Structure 1
C-alpha cells in the first residue's frame, strides 16, 4: 500500500514537472504579435516616398515607394507571420546610414531607434524588432567597419533596454559585387569592408547574446543568401544575377526601361533586389526565426 502511494505521488510530481517545462517552452515559442523595422532602402516601404511627396523613388519605375518593382522582404516576412499592415511598424528610410555619415536628409538607424524608444516605453516583448543597415555607410565612403558595428550594437542595446526580447539583425551582401559596383575601382575594397562588417557583426551579436540571456537575437544571413543565388541561380529560378533589370541605371533618360522578365533577375537596379529576390529574403528570414524557436512551427505556415 505504501509503495502504491509512493508511485502515485511520484507520478503526480513528474506530471507537474512535465507541465511546467512544457509551459515554459510554449511561452517561449508563442506567435510574434508585431514587427518593428529599422534600416535603409532594403526595408523602406514608403517613408522616403511620403517625405518627398511621392517624387522619390519615382513611380512607376519603383513600386509604390519601395526601392524595387514590388513588395520588399519585410512585407513577405509579415505575411508569413500572419501579421497585418497595422501590426507592421516600419521606421526604415532609403539612404539611411547606421549613424551620422554623409546624408543628413534622412534619419540614421540610431535616430530611428531613438525616435521609437522615446515614444514606446515600455516596448512590446512579444514583438519582433528588425535591424538591417550598414551598406550606405560603406557606399558613402566609410573605410572601417568599427563605427557601423558600434552603431548597430548601440541600437540593439537601446531596444533591449526598452524591453525588446526578440531581435532579427541582417548582415550585408557583398557590396563589391553589386551591378553598380562590381566593375568599379572600389569593388575590391567594398568586398573587404563587407567581410569585415559581417565578421564584426557576428562577434558583436554573440557577445550581446551572452550578456542578455533573456534576449533572443537571430541573424539574417543575407551574405550567404546572395552568394548562393549568384553561384547557383537556377536554384532560385534566376537567369540573370549579374546585371540589373532596369536598363541604363544612372541615365535618367533610360531609367524607365525595365526588362520583360523581372522575376528572373536578382537585381532590380544597380543596388536593390527585385521583388522576386525580396520574397526569397523574406522566406529566409522566416526560416531563421522559426529555427531559433521564436515562433511555434506548428502554428505557422509559409505562404
Structure 2
C-alpha cells in the first residue's frame, strides 16, 4: 500500500510539473534511431556504447547511435519528461521512473522477428511489445492493482513507434542472407510489413495505449551506406515509399475504426528529404559523408577514431544514422509542424487531447 501511494504521489508530481499535463509518460519502440542503450545489455554485434558515439551527449557513449541526442530524447525534453531509460537495463524496472516512460528500441530490430539475425540478439518489435506488457504489469502493481487508475494513466501516455528500416537494410536488401526478395515483390513485402505492424499496434491498443506517433521510414536510399556514387539509390527509396504509403493508409484506417484512439503519422521521409534537397537552408554543408569516419561500406563508427569537428554541419553521423542536428529538425517539425509533416495532428496537439 505504501509503495502504491508513493507511486501515485510521484505520478501526481509528474503530471503537475510536465509541460504537457496530458502526457505523463513516453514509451518508445523501434530500432537504432531510437535505441537509448538496450543493446548494451544483450549479446549482439550492434552496439554503440563506445567513443566517438555520444561525443556530444551529456553522459557520453550510452548506446545511442548518434553523436548526441536522438529524436525521442529531444521530444521528451519538449514534453517536460526525462529521457526514457532502456528496458534492458536491470535497474529500470525497479525504478519509479518507469512511470515517466521506458525505451524498448533495439538496434537492427525489425517488424519481422527474423530481421537483423546476422548481428545476433536484437529485440524485434514483437518482443518489445512483450516487454511493454511486463512494464504494464509492474505499473499495475505500483498503482495498488487499481485497474481504473492504471488504464487512465496508460491512455494518456505517448507511444512512439519508429521501425521498419532494418526490414529492408538487414533483410529484403540482403539476398545473400534472406530469401524475402525472391518470395515477395517490393509491393507485396511492404504490405506484409504493414499488415504485421497493424497487429502489433493493435496489441498495444489492447493493453490500453491510446496516443500514438508512428514515424515513416526515412529516405534510406540516400544514406552514405546505400549511395550510388553521390546519388541516392532510387530503387531503394521507391521501396520505402511503397511502405510509407501503406503505413499512412493504415494510420488513417486505425483512427477511423478504433474507438478512443489518436494516431499521428510523422513523415520522416519528407522532413529528411527537405534537408537533403536544401541542406544550406538548415545549416548543413556536408551531405553525402558520415562525420565519425566510418567508410560507406562500414555503417558504424570505428572505435576510438576522431570525428569531424563541425558536427552541426553534417547530416549523417555514421553511414546510416543522422547527427543530433538533424534529429533536432525532425523532432521540432513533428512536435509543432503542419499536417504535411505530421498528420492529422502534431505531437503538441496530440498532447493536448
**Same-fold call, TM cutoff 0.5:** yes
Name the residue aligned to 1:244.
290
Structure 2: any 5+ residue segments left out of the alignment? Answer: 1-19, 55-60, 84-96, 138-149, 173-180, 182-188, 337-341
Structure 1 residue 193 corresponds to structure 2 residue 239:
yes
Greater shift, 94-103 or 176-185, is seen at: 176-185
Is 1:79 aligned to 2:92, yes or no? Answer: no
| Distance in 2 of aligned mates of 1:69 and 1:222 | 19
SS in 1 for 2:171: coil
Does structure 1 residue 32 correspond to structure 2 residue 45?
Answer: no
Aligned-pair CA distance for 1:220: 1.5
Counterpart of 2:33? 42
Q: Secondary structure at the match of 2:155?
A: coil
Count matched residues.
269
**Counterpart Cα distance in 1 of 2:301 and 2:197:** 38
Q: Is the 8 A contact 2:33 2:321 kept in 1?
A: yes
Structure 1 range deviating more: 130-139 or 146-155 = 146-155
Q: Does 1:137 align with 2:167?
A: yes
Q: What SS does the aligned partner of 1:125 have?
A: helix
Aligned with residue 232 of structure 1, among 270, 278, 288: 278
Structure-to-structure mapping, 1:137-286, within 5 angstroms: 137-142=167-172, 143=181, 144-183=189-228, 187-249=233-295, 250=298, 256-286=305-335
The more displaced of 154-163 and 251-260 is 251-260
Task: Report the aligned-residue RMSD.
Answer: 2.7
Greater relative contact order (CA < 8 Å, ≥ 6 in sequence):
1
TM-score of the superposed pair, with normalisation by structure 2: 0.70
| 131, 155, 171: which one aligns with 1:125 | 155
The answer to whether the Cα contact below 8 Å between 1:117 and 1:158 also exists between their aligned partners in 2 is no
2:90 corresponds to: none
Moved more, 280-289 or 158-167: 280-289
Q: Secondary structure at the match of 1:172?
A: coil
Question: 1:39–1:109: 8 Å Cα contact kept in structure 2?
Answer: yes
In the alignment, structure 1 residue 295 sits paired with structure 2 residue 351: yes
How much does 1:88 deviate?
A: 3.0
Give 3-state SS (helix, strand or coil) of 1:107's partner: coil
- Relative to 1, partners in 2 of residues 1:241 and 1:55: Cα closer, same or farther, differing over 3 Å? closer
Large movers: runs of 4+ above 4 Å: 52-55, 251-255, 288-292
TM-score (norm 1): 0.81
The worse-fitting range, judged by mean Cα deviation, of 55-64 and 235-244 is 55-64
Aligned counterpart in structure 1 of residue 109 of structure 2, from 80, 90, 96: 96
Q: Note the C-alpha offset of 1:53.
A: 10
Gaps of 5+ in 1: 1-28, 298-303
Residue 35 of structure 1 deviates from its aligned partner by: 0.2
- Superposition deviation, residue 111 in structure 1: 1.4
Assess if the C-alpha contact under 8 Å between 2:44 and 2:122 holds in 1.
Answer: no
- In 2 relative to 1, CA 248–290 (structure 1 residues): closer, same or farther, beyond 3 Å? closer
Matches of 1:161 and 1:253 in 2, distance apart? Answer: 39
In the superposition, relative to structure 1, how do residues 253 and 225 fare at CA in structure 2: closer, same or farther (>3 Å)? closer
Contact 2:294–2:318 (Cα < 8 Å) also in 1: no
